Structure 1
Amino acid sequence: MVSKSQSLLKRRASRVGRCICASQPAKRPYRETFAAALLLCGVLASPALAFDGNAQSDHTVPEQLTPPANVPVTPGVRPVDEAFRSGAQALRLGQTAKGVDALRYAADQGHPAAQWKLGRMYADGDGVKRDDIKAFEYFSRVANSHAEDYPGTAQARFVASAFVALGGYYLHGIPNSSVRRDAGRARDMYSYAASYFGDSEAQYRLGKMYLDGVGTPRDPRQAARWLILSSQKGQYEAQALLGNMLFRGDDGINRQGARGLMWLTLARDGAAAPQDKWVVDLYEDAFAEATPEERAQALQYLEQWLKTAQR
């Protein structure tokens, strides 16, 4: 039998996904110091150096490139921008070969969104054969050329996402390649995207590294700091980890059952994929253990969250 409190929490949670407003990336003075540190470490290398630190073939292209014949050029619009738009439209229409051809032209001309899109396609095997090395190279080109772009620019989200993708490759490595597992470097990638661009996915992954003690000594307080920033932007996996930390307590983190249950309820609302079962399990375990008072207080916290998110 489902209790009245559980029904209220679940009904309230169903509204959360429609009401959460993502906050804007914070603009921190962290940029200069961290970018300098990355430069010292060779991370933001010249185009001839990939993120693994080894010399790679220079991807220099001829200065005078012409768009593919199937890309119409609109007067007043740069050919590289038109190529990207044409490529994106072709992909939406299922014309993969045409789309990839146009995106490659735009990417070779330095278009960050085209480079990012091709990186994602190769990383996911979306319309092309999966190739993590090619994905790594495209993401590296974005990060190398645009690491210091202002967070408010149109391409900032692609740059931040490229750093996150590179962090994932360093965290796990790429088999049979020079990209080795390097948790410390993965942390650097996540830290830059999390701190400078305020990227919620990077903040979640950085918080998880501190929570698990991967690439850094375990530090629940630092983990909580990053997970809070990510959770406030609606990242449900961060909400799940933060909620579980608060519900159960951790080193330096006092147990806050109601607050933890609130975050777990928000996370449960965002868990829709089969691989999100761990989020559902954390929520259900916490709800079963929570006292009636904690459930009631969690509902009040949810109502306060909704009021704040709607402002």
Structure 2
Amino acid sequence: MAEAYPELAEIYLCGYGGTADEKRSFEMLRKGQEAGDALSAFRLGCMYSDGIGVERDEKEAVRMFRIAAYKGIPEAQFKMGVVAQENPSESDLPAQEWYRRAAEAGMPAAMVNLATMLYEGKGTGRDLEKAFSLYSEAAELGDGDAMFMAGRMMFEGIGTERNPGKGMELFVRAAAAGNRMAEEFVSEIRRRQNTQIIRIDGADYDIRKNA
């Protein structure tokens, strides 16, 4: 069955039970893609993009990503979103449409990119409430960048009701998740107040509870 080719390709790529063979892995994915397997097409695109098992070929990578994207692979839809943003002529759909499809499939990175487009009004009308909703959804799925942006919007009251305490909670979570801007923001507040207790709008907030 065509669905078996990605598993065979991984065995050859990682060298399970023997020596790794990138070219053989590439051939397994090529056969899978020719047999109509969407995951094979996506991984084949990655190999073309990274030059693994084959000479690097960005045009062929995009062709494979497009095939996989139309067959419903969220990661491929995300890749096509990036392609559409960087080189619109190489995509027959706008970036926000690709990101929307991947976001609806539950991909946090696509939610963040679509939210950012809506926040900035790039390639689509500006919709701050929708942007906040997408950032919040991605934040709940553990995305640090989404936590920072949702926190910022709550902290400042952009696209949602202003709630500095909840915003600060998200900043702390984002910092713990490795978001550099959140780390710098929380560190600066700690430095200024010289305490783990932060006062926001007259209320004390213990950031240690969320660190």
Measure how far apart 1:263 and its partner are: 1.4
Relative to 1, partners in 2 of residues 1:256 and 1:288: Cα closer, same or farther, differing over 3 Å? farther
Structure-to-structure mapping, 1:292-311, within 5 angstroms: 293-296=203-206, 302=210
Measure how far apart 1:295 and its partner are: 3.1
Cα distance in 2 for residues equivalent to 1:291 and 1:114 = 53
Measure how far apart 1:82 and its partner are: 3.9
**242, 253, 264: which one aligns with 2:150:** 242
| Higher RCO, Cα 8 Å, sep 6+ | 1
Relative to 1, partners in 2 of residues 1:141 and 1:211: Cα closer, same or farther, differing over 3 Å? same
CA RMSD of aligned residues (A): 2.7
Measure how far apart 1:299 and its partner are: 5.1
**248, 252, 262: which one aligns with 2:169:** 262
Q: Which residue of 2 aligns with 1:192?
A: 101
Measure how far apart 1:277 and its partner are: 3.4
Alignment partner of 2:205: what SS? helix
Which structure 2 residue ranges, 5 or more long, are not aligned?
A: 193-197
Relative to 1, partners in 2 of residues 1:221 and 1:133: Cα closer, same or farther, differing over 3 Å? same
- Residue 263 of structure 1 aligns to which amino acid in structure 2? L
CA deviations over 1:6-63 (Å, ceiling 9, x no partner): xxxxxxxxxxxxxxxxxxxxxxxxxxxxxxxxxxxxxxxxxxxxxxxxxxxxxxxxxx
Please say if 1:91 is aligned against 2:17.
Answer: no
State the identity %: 22
Q: Which residue of 2 aligns with 1:169?
A: 83
Check the 8 A contact 1:200/1:233 in 2, yes or no: yes
Structure-to-structure mapping, 1:1-311, within 5 angstroms: 78=1, 80-93=2-15, 94-126=20-52, 128-144=54-70, 146-147=71-72, 159-173=73-87, 178-179=89-90, 185-195=94-104, 197-250=105-158, 252-271=159-178, 277-285=180-188, 290-291=198-199, 293-296=203-206, 302=210
Cα distance in 1 for residues equivalent to 2:4 and 2:23 = 17
Relative to 1, partners in 2 of residues 1:285 and 1:170: Cα closer, same or farther, differing over 3 Å? farther
Cα distance in 1 for residues equivalent to 2:27 and 2:186 = 46
Q: How many residues align?
A: 200
Relative to 1, partners in 2 of residues 1:162 and 1:221: Cα closer, same or farther, differing over 3 Å? same
Measure how far apart 1:211 and its partner are: 1.3
- Residue 126 of structure 2 aligns to which amino acid in structure 1? R
Cα distance in 1 for residues equivalent to 2:58 and 2:204 = 46
Cα distance in 2 for residues equivalent to 1:255 and 1:96 = 53
Check the 8 A contact 1:261/1:286 in 2, yes or no: no
Instruction: State TM-score, norm by structure 1.
Output: 0.57
Measure how far apart 1:285 and its partner are: 4.2
Relative to 1, partners in 2 of residues 1:244 and 1:124: Cα closer, same or farther, differing over 3 Å? farther
Cα distance in 1 for residues equivalent to 2:52 and 2:153 = 36
Cα distance in 2 for residues equivalent to 1:295 and 1:111 = 52
